[in-house]
Structure 1
Amino acid sequence: MRTEWRDGLRDGLPIAVGYFAVSFSFGLLATQAGLTAFQAGLISLTNLTSAGQFAGLTIITAGAGLGEMALTQLVINLRYALMSLALGQKLGPQVGTLKRCLIAFVDTDEIFAVAMGRPGRPTPAYMGGLGFLPLLGWTGGTLTGALASGVLPAAVISALGIALYCMFVAVVAPVARRSRPVLAVVGIALVCSCLMSWVPLLKQISAGTAIILCTVAAAALGAWLFPVEEPAQGGDAA
């Protein structure tokens, strides 16, 4: 068990370093939006979702209601449910419900990819080690960024404020260059977002609802324009 835990810590360390850098920006933006360092840290400790947290911060800043917040998080984070179902199949039936819930809590995109790529069935000890450092990195980065906002020069804070957008560009751009469907979906989302910001009638829609509409519209049009071909089912031999 100790070996599995150490293996998880080793594999989770690079993820934790990356999470610290991104969540540092979240901490800065959260304090600029009026949240305390404790509130920002508590959000990161109990959520562990970059896109969901940044979208949620936008909704909080806009003063939207809890219903919009809940629906936005459902749309943005729905993939985690699918990823957890797939990971649950790999864990095997011997892992109990409580352990599965704890593993699902730290099942981010990067942790899921590492766990699914590990040969054999990941043990609960391995998954615990794999998720421990990223959770600390994400929460610690948020707290550090929130506390640093009070001492860093305004120019530095302004420069760090674009770190999230740089991260998204770095993640999306290489995939979009290789995949025409991804590029098209990104373009659709961009057009929808611009319409929400520039068209007078659509500008009246709240920030939370706008995020939901843009996400659903881009995903639906992408699925319609670029359906995934299912493998042909082999027929019975005659």
Structure 2
Amino acid sequence: MKSNRDWYLQGAHDGLPIAMGYLAVSFTLGIAARNVGLGAFPASLMSITNLTSAGQFAALGLITAGTSYVEMACTQLIINLRYFLMSCALSQKLDPNMHFFHRLLVAYGVTDEIFGISIGSGRMLNPFYAYGAISVAAPSWTLGTFLGVVSGNVLPARVLNALNVALYGMFIAVIVPPARKQKVLAGLVAVSMAASLLFTLLPVVSQISTGMRIIILTVLVAGAGAVLFPVEEAEEKEELHEA
């Protein structure tokens, strides 16, 4: 039977590839944070307290647009709503008698990648496995952000412009692989792009703030996709197993 130390080391081992990926992506985040006027400390603080790439990139865009706190909060809630579902799934793998403090710490580190390795770690999830993964992934994410901000202050403008392209590359890398496998998802992506363009060009809706536009489009497109093309339970189990 594995000890808590063994589980921690296993989690740290499995989390190393995640940490390496986080370092690269968060470096781009740091450059983006620097471009909107955030210093190394506030940008790093945002990363260590908010482990969500999509949420943080969206937040930087909203900061640039000068949206209200309410719009910021609503956008973050919608973008990160999937973590609520992931946490519910992980709770089924936790010991019912586990202390509430352990549950809070595990919940802090629920990201797409850590969720994936945690689900596949065994029949029951030992919290120290999650701690191991978090202990290498979260500092790496924060370090990358810090380095991105600092490098953005010393690197030439041409290099920064080239690195900014990495942000779009990251989103393409996230969207294209699943879209190639699922025609419905590809269609929803196309609809989202078209709707976003219309919201930018049409006279009335173009007056809506950027943050509120994101909220409206996310709810409408995601809601329509869920109603018109629901994922069957068997498909959900298969995707969970692959994760």
- TM-score bin, normalised by smaller chain: over 0.9
Q: CA shift at 1:214, angstroms?
A: 1.5
Would you say the 8 A contact 1:185–1:221 is kept in 2? Answer: no
Q: Does 1:79 align with 2:86?
A: no
- 1:172-199 Cα offsets, whole Å, 9 max, x none, are 1111111111111111211121112222
Paired position in structure 2 for 1:25:
28
Paired position in structure 2 for 1:6:
9
Paired position in structure 2 for 1:70:
73
Paired position in structure 1 for 2:162:
159
What CA distance in whole angstroms lies between the structure 1 residues aligned with 2:123 and 2:223? Answer: 35
- 1:39-79 Cα offsets, whole Å, 9 max, x none, are 11010010010000111111111111110011000100011
Alignment of 1:58-207 (within 5 A): 58-207=61-210
What CA distance in whole angstroms lies between the structure 1 residues aligned with 2:44 and 2:175? Answer: 27
5+ unaligned residues in a row in structure 2: which ranges?
Answer: 235-243
What CA distance in whole angstroms lies between the structure 1 residues aligned with 2:77 and 2:23? Answer: 24
Paired position in structure 1 for 2:51:
48
Would you say the 8 A contact 1:59–1:207 is kept in 2? Answer: yes
Amino acid at match of 1:69: M
Q: TM (normalized to structure 2)? A: 0.92
The percentage of aligned residue pairs carrying the same residue is: 49
What CA distance in whole angstroms lies between the structure 1 residues aligned with 2:87 and 2:54? Answer: 18
CA RMSD in angstroms comes to 1.2
Q: TM (normalized to structure 1)? A: 0.93
Question: What's the secondary structure of 1:138's corresponding residue?
Answer: helix
5+ unaligned residues in a row in structure 1: which ranges?
Answer: 232-238
What CA distance in whole angstroms lies between the structure 1 residues aligned with 2:192 and 2:140? Answer: 30
Query: Which of residues 27, 37, 42 is equivalent to 1:39?
Result: 42
Name whichever of 217-226 and 65-74 sits farther off. 217-226
Q: CA shift at 1:133, angstroms?
A: 0.9
Aligned length, in residue pairs? 231
Q: CA shift at 1:230, angstroms?
A: 5.3
What CA distance in whole angstroms lies between the structure 1 residues aligned with 2:182 and 2:151? Answer: 39
Q: CA shift at 1:210, angstroms?
A: 1.0
Would you say the 8 A contact 1:20–1:141 is kept in 2? Answer: yes
What CA distance in whole angstroms lies between the structure 1 residues aligned with 2:233 and 2:33? Answer: 43
Deviant stretches of 4+, over 4 Å: none
